Every structure is written in C-alpha cells, then in structure tokens.
Chain A
Amino acid sequence: MTGMSGISGAWPVAMFQLRRLCTWPRLAMAAVGAAFPAAVMLAVGRASRGALPSDVAVALLYALVPEAVCMLGLLVTMCPAVADELERGTWAHVATRPNGRRALLLGTWLAAVIWTGLVALAALALALPWARVDEPGRVAAVLAGLVVLSCAGRAALFALPAVVMPKRALVASVAVALVVEYLAGTIPAVVNQATVSLRLRSLLVAGMGWKRKLPTEMQLFIDPQPPFVHVVAVAILVVVFLTIAIAILDRRQFPPGDEL
C-alpha cells in the first residue's frame, strides 16, 4: 500500500471521471462543442466571401476556442465536482478514504482539463481550415497553448464555486466567469493581474506578434510582460485556486440529508 496523498490519488479519480464522461449524451455534447467553432468560421467565411482579414479570423478563433468552448466545457465538467458525488450517493464513500476529498477535487480538475482540452483541440483542428489564416501552423500552436492554459486556469477557478456552493455551482461559476474573467479581467488595474483572461490575451498578442499593430487604447487590455511570465502566472493562479478549494473542501461537512 502506498501512502496516497491527494495528488497521487488524483490520477485514479481522473481516470474514473473520464470513464463517467464517456456516455453517449456527453460524447454528443462534446461533438457539438468541437464542431461549433468550425460552423461559425464557415458561416463567417461565407458571409465575408473569403475576405475576412487573417488577424480578425485569428481573434475570432481565439474567442471561439480557448474562450467559448473551454468555458462551456469546464462549466459542464468542473462545476459538478462535489454536487455529482452528492447526487450519486458516492460522496460518503470518497470522503471516508484517506485524502479522498483532495483526490476527488484534483482528479476532477485533471479530468476536466483533459476532456475539455481534447474537445477544444478538436474544435481548433476542425475550425482552422475554414479560417483561412496566414501562418496556420503558428496560429495552431499559439491557440493550442492557450487552450491548455485556459483549461488549467479556468478549471481551477471553477473549483472554488464547486466546493463553496456545490448545489449552485453552475450558476455561481457563470457569475464568477462574468465578474472575474470578463469584468475584472478587462479592468486595466492591479485586479486584472489575478485573472486568466489577461494572461491569455497577452499571450495571444505576443504569440501572433500583434503588439506593434495594436492601437494604444487596446494596449491597456494586455500585459506587456514576456510570455513565460504569463505562463508562470497562470500556473501560480492554478496552484492558488486549487489550494484554496482544497482547504475549503477539507473542512466541508454535508449533513446526511444532503445526499440524495
């Protein structure tokens, strides 16, 4: 027997959660999510009769894949981390395992990142040919990197509402996404430093070499630090969010009536 901490216990939980996700309805949802950006790019391409500027197409891909697809995927996979266990009558089984709560949270985070990441990468692969961008290889590499960071960062952010208010996690996560990521993230002040969206936008601008092209007023919405700083910042945010979520979950108590 190994001394399983929450971290080493995360892998079996992630595998178990991924198996749980492999149902026909979930796979159908994933397929729709993966096809959605391609459909939008196709429609936009037709509407513009192929005259869509490459930079606009990249910006649109960014909005559709690392933002929309990742956000929606994570809302579905990360938010019910605790609520699902309560509904399935499995919370007590997991909570009475050594470090089971931590393993559950970290494992669900890992599963959410893997599942949503794969869907988003598939969406990128499907949408990119219809975007007709210059340097598609570079665009694919930049956006794929942003997908990974978006999934890791936002899944960790959604872990907080998942443990604070499990039964309202979806609503709370939408509120958090709007307030933290899209409101605070666009305020050009210290507060936006603690958001994933600032890091992703800044990395997109750096990765695509748009910095000089950006109008002065748009420069307010990015951080001119080197890319590795943003990657490290997202990693720090992930660690901070997950640590707080684990600390909360370790102390959570659910009365017997909370299990359905």
Chain B
Amino acid sequence: MIALEHVTKLYGSVIGVNDVTVDLADGAHGLLGPNGAGKTTFLGLVTGQLRPTLGSVRVFGEPAFGNPRVLRRIGYCPAADLLDRTTTPFEWVRYLVRLAGFAAPEAGRRAERALEQVGLTAAARRPVTTLSKGMRQRAKLAGAIAHDPDLLVLDEPFNGLDPVARHDLVSLVRGWATSRSLIVASHLLHEVESLEASLAVILGGRLVASGDAVEIRRLVDTLPGEVRVRCAEPRRFAELALRIEGVVGVRHEGDMVAVATRRPVAFVEEAVARAFDERLGVREVAAADRSLEGIFGQLVRLHRGGMP
C-alpha cells in the first residue's frame, strides 16, 4: 500500500526524515515517536503534500505528491487545530466532500452521515470556534472519512482530548480500521496499541524499529535498562556492578551510580544483596524511566551509538 525507498526530506538544512525505507501493507499502522521526530513529515510525504528530497514515495503503487488518483483514496486528519471562525462542522465537511469530487446533494448526505458517525450531529451547525477541542477533532475526523477513503491518515488525533472523548475516538477509529487501512501518528504508545495496529518507531527522522506491539515491547525489553543506586560507597559499588553479568556500562556522579544492564531485575536482586554483604550503605535503588518517552530516549541514544 505504502512504499518509501531511501526517502530523505530536507527543509533547507533541517532534516525532516532521513533515509527511510519502509513497506506498509494494507491494515492498521501506528507511527510512534516523540514530538519533532518526523512523524508529520512522514505523513506529509504519504499524503502527497511533500515531495521527497531523495528517494521515492509510492502510495497505492503511484507517486504520491499531488497525485489526484492517490489523493482521492486518502482521508487525512492533520494535527493542526481547525480554526476557521466562520464555518460550521457541517459546512466544513460538506466542503471537503465536494472537493473530493462529489456533487452538492451527495456531499450534503455524506457530511451528515460522517458527522453522525463521529457523534457530532447535535453540534453540526454550530460555528467551529464554539466547539470544544474534542468536538473540533471529531469534525476533522468526519472530514477525513466522509468521502469513504481507502486509507485514513490521522496525525496526533488524540491530542488535547479528555479521557472520555479519547476513548470514544479510539473506539471509532478502531471500528473504522476493521475494514480499511489506517495510519495513526502518535506519541502515546497505549493509544496506538489499543488500535491493534502494527507499529513503527520514528526518531530523529529515522525509522528505528517496527513490528507489532508485542515485538516492540520485546525489543524494548532487550534494551539495556538503567538502574540508579545511591549509596555511601559509590566507587566500590561501581566496581561491584561491573562484575555482575549483563552490565554493559556504569556511570558515577557524586553518590549516585547509574548502571546500564540487560538484566535489570536480576541485577537489582544480586547487586543489592552483595552491596548489603559488603556494607556499601545503599540508600536508594531506582529504575530509569520505562515510559514511552524514556524508551524513545534510550532508542535515540542507542541509535547515536551511545550508552542507553
């Protein structure tokens, strides 16, 4: 469905994406990465808004940039908020459907249906600026699905939503993705996971990992984890740590020793026991951040050839 071959996108001297090669089959895909990782640039390339500086982007077997045949089959919901003061969700969605090539009466029907699908019928004729952020997100989503595209592309669709709105939107998108293809860019792993999508992790403009959620978690588990220990004898603890199996690096700052290990749980059990025996005065043991942001940070450091 989507094939990027050695794609690099530069904005002057700034790299948007860097030598990305990926082949995404039909189905649901999540694009994960922290802010500024290159997700929106990736989506801009896929949705034909941006032309690659190097490499090729093909969607449905054709070059994507400005290609009407490709664009007709894509529904795009960008991250930018809808700030059109003068329009209503109904007018906006109908307008987009008309731009997709439908006659006025059909566009009106499709707009009504899409707004109903996203649960916005009651607010369909209120000015966009009087709507909550969640409602505006729904209006954008309705605009993306109303022309019945084969591929729905959502850029940070859950940003700024309260938990209830987020849950509703996840349910809606998941339902939609059962019969069509979907790409969701997000920095929230659990939300993309809940869409049962295959995942690609993008960092610094590069795709650094891909697979399903289980594979990504397994990859994350194989990454060296960091354990931080505060103790009275940090130098001796560092020497001790280096003798424990699985330890790949030790850093020492003041009374804190940061240990990178491939077996964090086993390390803690063994190191704490030995430190107790050797009376090293351990005061605190803490695992490093294993949240998605933390994992991103680790992946970035690994990617740059550094210690995790």
Contact = CB atoms under 8 A, between A and B. Distances in A.
B48 to A, nearest CB: 7
B48 A96 contact: yes
A90 B74 contact: no
Contact of A92 (B41, B49, B84): B49
A154 to B, nearest CB: 25
Interface in A223-260: 250-251, 253-256, 259-260
B185 to A, nearest CB: 11
B61 interface: no
B38 to A, nearest CB: 10
A123 to B, nearest CB: 24
Contacts of B96: 93, 97
Given A89-B82, A92-B76, A259-B78, A16 B95 contact: yes
B99 A97 contact: yes
Interface string B40-61: 1100100111110000000000
Nearest to B70: A98
B14 to A, nearest CB: 8
A147 interface: no
A16 B71 CA distance: 21
A87 to B, nearest CB: 7
B16 A255 contact: yes
A1 interface: yes
Contacts of B16: 255
A222 B262 CA distance: 85
A253 B86 CA distance: 26
A109 to B, nearest CB: 16
A219 interface: no
B95 A12 contact: yes
Nearest to A100: B99
Contacts of A199: none
A142 interface: no
A172 interface: no
B144 to A, nearest CB: 8
B84 A90 contact: yes
A100 B98 CA distance: 10
Interface string A63-103: 00000000000000000000000011110111111111101
26 contacts: A1-B102, A1-B106, A3-B101, A4-B100, A4-B101, A12-B95, A12-B99, A13-B99, A16-B91, A19-B87, A20-B84, A20-B87, A23-B86, A88-B83, A88-B84, A89-B84, A92-B44, A92-B76, A92-B78, A93-B96, A93-B143, A96-B74, A98-B72, A99-B68, A253-B49, A255-B50
Nearest to B75: A96
Nearest to A103: B99
Contacts of A103: 99
Contacts of B76: 92-93, 96
The bracket for how many chain B residues form the interface is 35 or more
A9 interface: yes
Nearest to A259: B80
A4 to B, nearest CB: 4
Interface of B: 11, 16, 40-41, 44, 47-51, 66, 68-69, 71-72, 74, 76, 78-87, 91, 95-96, 98-104, 106-107, 140, 143
Given A98-B101, A251-B51, A253-B51, 4 more contacts: A12-B107, A97-B96, A256-B40, A259-B78
Contacts of B99: 4, 9, 12-13, 94, 97-98, 100, 103
Interface in A1-43: 1-4, 9, 12-13, 16, 19-20, 22-23
Contacts of B47: 92, 96
Given A88-B84, A89-B78, A98 B49 contact: no
A49 to B, nearest CB: 46
A253 B68 CA distance: 16
A250 B68 CA distance: 11
A93 B11 contact: no
Contacts of B74: 96
A19 B216 CA distance: 49
Contacts of B107: 12
Nearest to B72: A98
A1 B91 contact: no
A6 to B, nearest CB: 9
Contacts of B51: 251, 253
A124 B66 CA distance: 42
Nearest to A26: B86
Question: Considering the complex of A and B, which 5 residue pairs feature the smallest CB-CB distances, nearest first?
Answer: A98-B68, A4-B101, A89-B80, A12-B98, A97-B99
A97 B49 contact: no
A50 B273 CA distance: 108
Q: Which of A87, A94, A251, A259 has the most CB of B within 10 A?
A: A259
A23 B40 CA distance: 33
A166 to B, nearest CB: 15
A2 B292 CA distance: 45
B237 to A, nearest CB: 46
Contacts of B103: 2
